[in-house]
Chain A
């Protein structure tokens, strides 16, 4: 009996004084920590997949900055007092507030994914964990492409950018200034994409389809060079585009209904798609929100099988009139339609991303196309227009026009005529695909007029669309001319970034 008591006392003492640290240390069971996670090929692959998912998350609202701010779309919720409608109208009027939550969210999602890329990248940078070299270099190419893509969007939307190439802590973040756009291009975007183009495979097995190919990397790199501009860069871009056009995997879809079928949810990853961000409908939580976001407000279940249509990102009267003027353009109905709500009210809506068979609210099937073959063809025509070959540009423009059921044009008599035709065609062909913003930015360079983009946007608001369209807004205030200056082509840096950094002054973009 006595011995039992001693044992008890001894046990008690052991419990009390020697195992404190063990007792107080929990091993998270359902939560994994980023420290030392990416150490096996399976886990590294999961990390890469996680970055693709990050693309899906950040792309959700990208249209607000790359379509809504252009002459392609606007908001059409007259009388709505919903905050989202007012905020988005502000974006379309170039009145974006630095503290806009939507803007902050887009920024956050983008940097979240950059951070995720940076977390996985060290594990594939050398062959520490993956012994098969092709696999290692493929993962590295994919990650670099994703990071370059994010940075390409960031510099074109926000200008000078924070250069983040590793996982950082709260203190470190406050030491990082905004680096000039050129530095981001030269140190991140271009080297990342060159490496990605060299290392990514030309194609994948059926199961892996959707990953970054060398064609995707080359295509994006060509766009990057064209955005920077200058004859040297255009020459580099030209070669890259020629390589992509020669790729056996890709080409234009042809035949009846070809254009509409590019976007069909039953024809995903078709020949024309060079890179798309993939979403999957149903109950997996991988669905996209484009269709429920664009389906007309108040249409209830007329178009959406389930969920609430928001009616955002509505085609403008201007693009409607251009399409109509084009005559029998087969792209018109595939791009947007008009819903006759009542005798007195018709609502246009984007029809490129329709999912008629949604089974869960806000979970649509539609992928988001980042780069497709027609884009590449028109980019090529754009270079020809600029590098003295404008007389041959029309053949590429006509490839696209013919598919749309339109007659040939050209040859063009001058650079400007060729550019006008190419950009007009791009606007029709790539309407509502988040390309218009970048086209407008390139136009300023192509036409050698830094105010080109802002002149177009100003005309769209104040001449083409205001009286017919925006004036119906209530209680939204009218747009103001003073905001349509070229400085506002950049969005403001989210105010929270400026406020949170108490160690360094983060300069805001001009006029904000």
Chain B
């Protein structure tokens, strides 16, 4: 690396032609640079600059006050400078240190010791198109320095952010290896359009930025939360903006850093399943209880139809007892004993005054706790900033990544629902029973309609014929897994270059141009009968190639005079993206192992009934003009005005452009002289902002009516394919479509107490999203189902608290705490011409969007325990009323009263249970989310841990509906109703199949999804310097890290992972959220790591 560095440096120095070119270009602007001329140097001053511990400081800015003369310190902290006379004042400034002034006087040797600036508020935060002093910030920006975040054993940056930023909710809907979480900044603004935040990596919007960047490469993460901060990214900023800044080289000698960890992960909690034996025990003990109950025993067969031990259950028992050697623990068949996590990263950084570099390589590997689940990612980064001349800077930033993910062919739920009497493969006995071949996979359908006899549980001989003990058309999950393989490969590259030119002091031109490229390939191989008996073998490959070109060209101007500080930027940006999606599906391979397209005998064409070979190309362009002025006076009064105009190709001509203005003001009261007497108050700032942001994230060509292939078979006999075209898209084009807009007001107050030992920020925001890009139903007589419209309004308001305290700070012991808490209230203000809409999940559970209320509410019937006695049921059935002289019995539609079944509340008091009895049952939005991090250091030990949680969040537990699972999962069978005398807890229904009610439409399935977790825990020890100096290492630290070591769930929650959410099919709609089924278990991880610098 050092050699490269030197080579480039030499090249720049010696290549006279380059220099001449640069000089020529510079000449263009020389007229503007009046100040530089005419300064005559007379006195030479030199010296060294160090910090308190006598370490030389490299790159310190030294200027002569009142002039443009200046230099920076070199590798050894040395500087040399010409000044006009001995009265000149030298100003030494360095980021993170207090600025120092020295009169030259008589000495020509000035040695300076710079003091660290403890006041954190002077740190610089990255904002849209630039940086800003935190003290001058007037918007709502959460900033996170990512020190040690790379020690958290997760493969993705976003997963590590959970709980660390106020106003940013990260939901790990699926903890499987490498799966992206859901991110929401300040609630849900958009309804039909996407609401994900914009991810900007080093100034470059990257669609999946948080999966591309290696954690070790990150310097800081900033979240632009309010519209005023985000509106510089106006167009796509309505979902918030997350800025990722990667590390750069320093003006230092080469520094190498190596980090690694290795660890294991296990399932935090697994469902407690009953084996067939245990289940039979339960059934017979319940039967025994019923025998004791006079209310049931001896009553007519009609009442006994319920709580009966079915033939299927008897058959299962007989198979287990007589034919199967060993019951199968299906859940364990799906899981590894433990998963693994490993990470290796090596980086080198350094530079001199002309060139800085940062180069890194990273490998992250995860083996999921489910078999056939893994994720490997290789990330590289090379970043260089080169000073071409006094006025020209050049930078490159290259980031290639490759990841390989393996997904299991079937969900964990499928393992859970299989009963233990079923073996994976047939043995001689089961083969004989089913007429299959011993050694073949045993499938549920093999046991359809079997006849079996044997000694039963009660020592009587059971004769059973025509029984299907496990009625499922699915294959057994092990056979699915072993005959299916799913791989995702992603090749990505992000590269950008920038060039800055200092036209004259303060005025800089910057052009930044980049390319983002990603190629994703999804491969699914299925052998014959993998998923369903008789399915042919098949290979599916989906390829997505995406390229994005971005050119950003800006002029910035910074000027300070008197107490005034002004910073301005104006620019124009262009972005063009292209996506090509190709999918190929083929079947009929002669060999089960060799699934390659050249061997296929049949290619599947795409159709609504059967997804097949298809392709889709589209491009998208965005062009923007932007400008901003920041102003501050004496560090007390500050304000900012910005505007961005965006044109998008997603809208029709005449509707492409929109302008997003924003403004903010701030007052640092603590800087006022009258406040100086409150010494304990080191900072008090009041802020207010208002701005507009936009959203255009809708499908391409929503403004057009499209025509699609619509083939037909013509010709005598079976005919042959004739190509046809028709407008079969569900979308009716709307040429009037334009931007969705969010107007947000933000009010903030920052306190710094006791020399900034305690810092507290409070934000209040109120945002209204208007002209919602709403997918509305169209009259079906148009031949289309829906059209996109700009209609409706959503409000989000909330409070955010961020607290940082330095509790103890002594030489040997420090303790720091950072905490955050955020709330958000979402209200649907206008929903076009509707006042409410019902959206449905996979089991028709209802998600209500009602005007004046939250955008998503669970809606359905309220339950009041179970019907426990026959009298109660009879009375309920007999109850009714006389309508027009005719007695009308109380009707229940889908909720017939039955003992042991769910008692549904007649909310509106009429004589029937119908849809009018539905009420709001819960909300998927949390009341608040929170996180607390504590950092301790004691001598060479360090300890940090993060507690994180969400409170007041409800979810729909879809597992309740999973009949097969319901019967065998202890969480749903404990304390259930048995008979009037043994009603259990009077709340748990006997079973869905006999209860006759659709539980999924009631609050029986709604549970508290609140949780609190010890999310991250790290304990480290730094080997004392004197020990490692001998082996020439800079630093050596060992650490232990853990994840989810403590995890608390709500007591009424019956699942295994309160954070899990289903996000596919119906649940990909933003208005259908908060449902889980077959949740993937939470992971608990333990890792050991090493951290070396040299």
Contacts and interface: CB of A to CB of B under 8 A. Distances in A.
Interface of A: 1-2, 5, 12, 15-16, 20-21, 23-26, 28-35, 37, 43, 46-54, 56-57, 79, 81, 83, 104, 107-108, 111-116, 119, 162, 164, 167-170, 173-174, 176, 206-211, 265, 268-269, 278-287, 289, 298, 300-301, 304-308, 341-345, 359-363, 365, 474-475, 477, 494, 496-497, 499-502
Contacts of B705: 33-35
B712 A500 contact: no
Interface residues of B, number: 97
B726 A51 contact: yes
Interface string B703-715: 0111110111111
**Residue of A24, A35, A48, A474 with highest tally of chain B CB at under 10 A:** A24
A345 B311 CA distance: 14
Given A49-B710, A209-B714, A361 B779 contact: no
Given A2-B28, A306-B532, A365-B718, A104 B713 contact: no
B533 interface: yes
Interface of B: 21, 24-25, 28, 445, 448-449, 465-468, 471, 473, 532-536, 553, 572, 574, 576, 587, 602-610, 612, 615-623, 647-649, 653, 656, 700-701, 704-708, 710-728, 732-734, 777-785, 787, 833-834, 844, 893-894, 896, 992-993, 996-998
29 contacts: A23-B574, A23-B647, A26-B700, A31-B708, A35-B705, A49-B722, A50-B724, A53-B710, A54-B710, A57-B728, A115-B727, A115-B783, A116-B726, A119-B726, A169-B782, A170-B778, A174-B779, A211-B714, A268-B718, A268-B719, A283-B587, A285-B612, A298-B468, A306-B536, A307-B532, A345-B466, A494-B780, A496-B777, A500-B777
A32 B724 contact: no
B713 A15 contact: no
Contacts of A284: 605, 607, 711, 713, 721
A338 to B, nearest CB: 15
Given A53-B724, A170-B778, A342-B466, A24 B609 contact: no
Contact of A114 (B704, B734, B783): B783
Given A21-B653, A282-B602, A83 B607 contact: no
A21 B649 CA distance: 9
A33 B735 CA distance: 13
A23 B574 CA distance: 9
B301 to A, nearest CB: 15
A46 B727 CA distance: 12
B619 A26 contact: yes
B783 A342 contact: no
Given A208-B714, A285-B612, A365-B718, A53 B726 contact: yes
Contacts of B728: 50, 54, 57, 112, 116
A20 B781 CA distance: 38
Given A50-B724, A207-B715, A284-B711, A289 B609 contact: yes
Contact of B706 (A28, A168, A174): A28
Contacts of A289: 609
A217 B507 CA distance: 79
B882 to A, nearest CB: 17
Contacts of B602: 282-283, 359
A2 B603 CA distance: 59
B226 to A, nearest CB: 28
Given A1-B24, A114-B783, A285-B612, A50 B718 contact: no
Nearest to B726: A50
List the 3 shortest-distance A-B pairs measured between CB atoms, nearest first.
A342-B466, A285-B607, A115-B783
A283 B717 contact: no
Contacts of B466: 341-345
B713 A210 contact: yes
Given A116-B727, A285-B604, A34 B707 contact: yes
Contacts of A345: 466
A157 B221 CA distance: 61
Contacts of B787: 170
A207 B714 contact: yes
Contacts of A342: 449, 465-467
**Residue of B587, B716, B726, B893 with highest tally of chain A CB at under 10 A:** B726
Nearest to A342: B466
A13 to B, nearest CB: 10
A278 B727 contact: no
B653 A25 contact: yes
Given A345-B466, A359-B536, 15 more contacts: A2-B24, A24-B622, A26-B649, A31-B700, A33-B705, A34-B706, A35-B704, A48-B724, A162-B781, A167-B783, A170-B782, A285-B608, A289-B609, A477-B896, A500-B780
B649 A25 contact: yes
A280 B647 contact: no
Contacts of A210: 713-716, 719
Given A30-B618, A209-B716, A343-B466, A361 B535 contact: yes
A279 B603 contact: no
B604 A81 contact: no
A496 B784 CA distance: 12
Given A269-B716, A306-B535, A81 B993 contact: yes
B781 A173 contact: yes
B49 to A, nearest CB: 39
Nearest to A172: B782
B20 to A, nearest CB: 9
**Residue of B710, B893, B997 with highest tally of chain A CB at under 10 A:** B710
Contacts of A298: 448, 468, 471
A52 B602 CA distance: 25
Contacts of A286: 607, 711-713, 721
Nearest to B734: A170
Contacts of B533: 300-301
A43 B726 CA distance: 10
B534 A283 contact: no
A21 B471 CA distance: 61
A495 to B, nearest CB: 11
A115 B715 contact: no
Contacts of B834: 499
Nearest to A278: B713
Contacts of A496: 777, 780
B3 to A, nearest CB: 32
B716 A169 contact: no
A23 B894 CA distance: 57
A49 B616 CA distance: 22
A56 B609 CA distance: 12
B713 A280 contact: yes
B609 A111 contact: no
Contacts of A53: 710-712, 724, 726
B780 A475 contact: no
A262 B785 CA distance: 37
Contact of A12 (B553, B649, B726): B553
Given A24-B649, A49-B711, A268-B718, A304 B726 contact: no
Contacts of B996: 474-475
Contacts of A31: 616, 618, 700-701, 704, 706-708
A176 B781 contact: yes
Nearest to A16: B572
A5 B501 CA distance: 13
B621 A26 contact: yes
A477 B893 contact: yes
Contacts of B998: 81
**Residue of A211, A304, A306 with highest tally of chain B CB at under 10 A:** A306
A49 B707 CA distance: 13
Contacts of A285: 604-610, 612, 711
B763 to A, nearest CB: 36
A280 B714 CA distance: 9
Given A79-B993, A176-B781, A283-B612, A50 B649 contact: no
B473 A300 contact: yes
Contacts of B553: 12
Contacts of A343: 465-466
